Structure 1
Amino acid sequence: MKLEFRDLKTQYKKYKNEIDIQIQEVLNSADFIGGKEVNVLEERLAEYVGVQHCITCANGTEAMTLIMMAWDIKEGDAVFVPDFTFFSTGEIVSFRGATPVFIDVDKDTFNIDSIKLESAIKDVLLQGKLKPKVIIPVDLFGLPADHFEIQRIADKYNLRVLEDAAQGFGGSINGKKAGSFGDAATTSFFPAKPLGCYGDGGAIFTNDNELAEIISSLKIHGKGDNKYNNIRIGVNSRLDTIQAAILNVKLTAFIEHELEDVNNIYEMYTEDLSNIVNTPIIPKGYVSSFAQYTIKLKNKKERDALQTNLRDEGIPSMIYYLKPMHKQEAFSDLVYSENDFEVTNQLCETVLSLPMHPYLSEQDVKKVTNVIMNFKST
């Protein structure tokens, strides 16, 4: 059987009956937009994460955009974003006309470096051209960022915090779940995420009643008490009922066993590889949901050679990320010093993500680790 990087096929086979029944119920009701399944999902997600409000929407990028809209982030504002992450986290800042300020990451956790974050905030204040407004820490590869320290910094400089938990759903720090940090948080239900649907989808989490009300309006054309009474300019960003029905089944599986299973697989990988390559570091008190299991090699040549070797053995792998944010052509108008991104630049040349999902067998893991051990021994 072919080894999958993220095995959605096996997951579907396991829960085929439940998923098919839920989809059929939506088809029978023909309530495709805003059906009861959406409300049920939002209530369950809010309870699981531990917040008062969960508002679903079309995708994770629009979830962050809705927050930027609600907070009136605009031209002249500075928003602090990790340099080592997916493009959308910076994109939503520029989309609003604001300026993303990219911050290097910690070499062990790959998450935003809080010391460099505070230094960058001070620099922006000293220059006086932009007004610091928001920090967007990313829970990269499933591991929550250093949220308590980030919140301390945010409070010190009177900044808002938007937690990008697109990869982090299910992770936690001392029992506090990803999605419950900051003033608001977002997640993505892209199929390959820890909790994914069969298309696009996203959600916003917050304890702020006013913010929840504004976002609920913004996501449906800025509606007021009904959809034909529009009180602000909004967008069309809704999670459809079929996707919610699928997610309700998959959320149960995630809670019952999938999060535990990926952490067991993490331990199997790490037991074999910890003395062979640099394996993921999970700080004390942290739980990762392992959107990816990412190792570090010595240099780009070794990383690329290992990826080729794995491919030759029928093992998929991925590089997250080939190019840092500050080198993206879309941000070429921004001026940076390469010295500010030493860790990110190194990671882009040395990281490699291995197959990681709840349905990997011990035999699957051994197949991957044996190839890596043999590669490193030659």
Structure 2
Amino acid sequence: MAWTGGDEQRPEIPFRQCPQLLEEQSATAVDRGPGGLRGHHEDTGVWTASRCRRSAGGGREWWHRRGCEARCRTAAKRRIVSRGDASPSRPRRSTRLAAQRPHDDGYHSRLFRCRVADVRAGHRRCRARRRTDRLEDRTSTEAGGDVATRTTAPQPAQGHREPEGAPSEPLPFVGLRAQGERLRQRIEQRLGRVLDHGAYVNGPEIEERERSLADFVGGGVTCVACSSGTDALVMALLEMGIGAGDVVFVPSFTFTATAEVVLLVGATPWYVDVDEQTMNLCPCDLERQIARARESGGGRRLRAVMAVDLFGLPADYSALDEICAREGLELIADSAQSFGAAQGGRRVGALAGLTATSFFPAKPLGGYGDGGAVFVTDAARAETLRSIREHGKGPDRYDIVRLGINGRLDSFQAAVLLVKLEVFGEETSRREALSRAYDEGLSGLPLWLPARREGAESAWAQYTLQVDDRDALRVSLQRRGVPTAVYYPLPMHLQPAYRSDSHPEGSLPVSERLCGRVVSLPMHPYQAAADTERVIEAVRSHFAD
């Protein structure tokens, strides 16, 4: 539908992202309205708004802006003939469209008022939906670290027809909205107390939270709260004195923060392959990589092993402890995804001498912003960590005795986490029940279910499958309203910022292979049984087609 009024009738009302459909839809529906053009892309389901600029030839070039992202040219350039391009043999576009239907003198004004009313109603619905979905949409993707970005599923081929009866509303990937509705009143009461006492940083909630988390873990550990899971890892490395000339062994199949923090303190990450079933650091390859690092020379000191509890399953700490003790290395547990899990009767936080975890909203225990903690079995190390957390201060605030960071957690996040910790045990049990339902419903299909290790309990931060034709499965599930995510599309040793001669492409085959096979399904403690069946049926239908 085109705007057919004159310039004097065209008010400058900007169009924003809006989900309303046009009456005439094609592969890409276009509506040239007041102030710009709106386009609805059927392959992505995204509305985009645009502005035009006059080109040298007198035509108009349309540029699309999607949300608050940088401007980008649309995939198919659309040239709209302007009034100056009309020829005697070809009337103006507005004249041709206006002549196609009879109308009285007030037709255009009534049309415009209807269009503006429709757009404004769409904007109101968008704003209401964004207010409730913004946090969930932001966090439903990156469970492996502090930044949550869901990778976009491959788009269906042009001309694809949706299956009959396909649900119009996609399922939530994480259950933050449902959890918020349950805990809203208690959270608001806690936040009100922070507003009352006014200690927004290092308030009483920080110490209370540290005690509560330490009691939950047990084993005599001490908890030091901090601003994020990434800062928790940085604090751990600084406490150990790791820096330039040191080597830290890390898995290649992990979130970027694991390797990033090693480089931030000046050390060198040495990448290790993972076990293909558990997807955690492989003890056998760790021994091989330790030998390679020693043979490489260069005067580097081998200092520590940083194991990652990927997707909520604890690493094999008994085997890793033995290797580290034999090789003289420290063991750090990167448990950003596994808080609430256990192994051998001990909870995560007490499985290594030093454990870092994250309370990012998408994690099993998550706040409403960034947050993290470090758990240590030696109380003396906790005092050093608290100093590092606050710029390396000594007894006096301005007595700086060591290198530190600004890693303090604010009182608001601590208040939220105190409320969520009250129901965390129940939520962990629900995650376990959901994983069992997935196991039962998806058994017998040509895919690999998540591994379970005897004596270990997973926190089920993600339910991650391995599939040969992952992209086809993702497209199929997307058509049926089932969201998916890929953690992770590229191993650390192949990331442009982390590449090194010691680990060329092909050197860590399992990590590279997993990056092309893994796909995660919706997993949260508030997922209804009907939604679980819907996910299972969507996966089974894909393999039945």
- Higher relative contact order by CA 8 Å / sep ≥ 6: 1 or 2? 1
Please state how far the C-alpha of 1:233 moved relative to its aligned partner. Answer: 2.6
**Residue pairs, 1:127-166, within 5 angstroms:** 127-129=296-298, 130-166=300-336
Please state how far the C-alpha of 1:183 moved relative to its aligned partner. Answer: 2.0
Confirm or deny: 8 A CA contact 1:26 1:242 kept in the other structure.
yes
Q: Distance in 1 between matches of 2:182 and 2:484?
A: 24
Q: Deviations over 1:218-261 (max 9, x none)?
A: 11111112313222231111111110000001011112x10000
Change (3 A) 1:125 1:335: closer
Name the SS for the 1:163 alignment partner: strand
Q: Deviations over 1:172-227 (max 9, x none)?
A: 11221112122200000110011101010110000122321111101111111231
The structure with the greater share of residues assigned to helix is: 1
Q: Distance in 2 between matches of 1:321 and 1:328?
A: 11
Q: Distance in 1 between matches of 2:506 and 2:472?
A: 27
Amino acid at match of 1:366: E
Q: Distance in 2 between matches of 1:364 and 1:250?
A: 23
Q: Deviations over 1:136-191 (max 9, x none)?
A: 00000000000110000000011001100000101111221112122200000110
Q: TM-score, normalised by structure 1?
A: 0.97
Q: Tell me the equivalent position of 1:115.
A: 284
**Residue pairs, 1:308-347, within 5 angstroms:** 308-347=475-514
Confirm or deny: 8 A CA contact 1:268 1:362 kept in the other structure.
no
**Residue pairs, 1:1-378, within 5 angstroms:** 2-50=170-218, 51-129=220-298, 130-255=300-425, 257-276=426-445, 277-298=447-468, 302-378=469-545
Please state how far the C-alpha of 1:337 moved relative to its aligned partner. Answer: 3.9
Q: Distance in 2 between matches of 1:222 and 1:131?
A: 25
Confirm or deny: 8 A CA contact 1:160 1:182 kept in the other structure.
no
Q: Distance in 2 between matches of 1:161 and 1:182?
A: 6
Amino acid at match of 1:95: L
Runs of 4+ in structure 1 off by over 4 angstroms are none
Which is further off, 261-270 or 180-189? Answer: 180-189
Confirm or deny: 8 A CA contact 2:506 2:512 kept in the other structure.
no
Q: Distance in 1 between matches of 2:450 and 2:221?
A: 32
Q: Distance in 2 between matches of 1:163 and 1:87?
A: 15
Q: Distance in 2 between matches of 1:243 and 1:7?
A: 18
Name the SS for the 2:513 alignment partner: helix
Please state how far the C-alpha of 1:52 moved relative to its aligned partner. Answer: 2.5
Change (3 A) 1:334 1:240: farther
Name the SS for the 1:63 alignment partner: helix
Amino acid at match of 1:231: V
Please state how far the C-alpha of 1:322 moved relative to its aligned partner. Answer: 0.3
Q: Deviations over 1:322-363 (max 9, x none)?
A: 000011011124431434311111110011000000001111
Q: Distance in 1 between matches of 2:267 and 2:423?
A: 39
Confirm or deny: 8 A CA contact 2:309 2:334 kept in the other structure.
yes
Amino acid at match of 1:260: S
Look at both structures and tell me which one has the larger radius of gyration over its CA atoms: 2
Change (3 A) 1:221 1:131: same
Name the SS for the 1:329 alignment partner: coil
Name the SS for the 1:349 alignment partner: coil
Confirm or deny: 8 A CA contact 1:124 1:131 kept in the other structure.
no
In structure 1, stretches of 5+ residues that fail to align are none
Confirm or deny: 8 A CA contact 1:78 1:99 kept in the other structure.
yes
Name the SS for the 2:201 alignment partner: coil
Name the SS for the 2:238 alignment partner: helix
Confirm or deny: 8 A CA contact 2:493 2:500 kept in the other structure.
no
Aligned residues: 374
Please state how far the C-alpha of 1:55 moved relative to its aligned partner. Answer: 0.2
Q: Distance in 2 between matches of 1:352 and 1:232?
A: 43
* Alignment RMSD: 1.2
Confirm or deny: 8 A CA contact 2:221 2:350 kept in the other structure.
no
Change (3 A) 1:14 1:307: same
Q: Distance in 2 between matches of 1:328 and 1:124?
A: 20
Q: Distance in 2 between matches of 1:104 and 1:341?
A: 5
Q: TM-score, normalised by structure 2?
A: 0.67
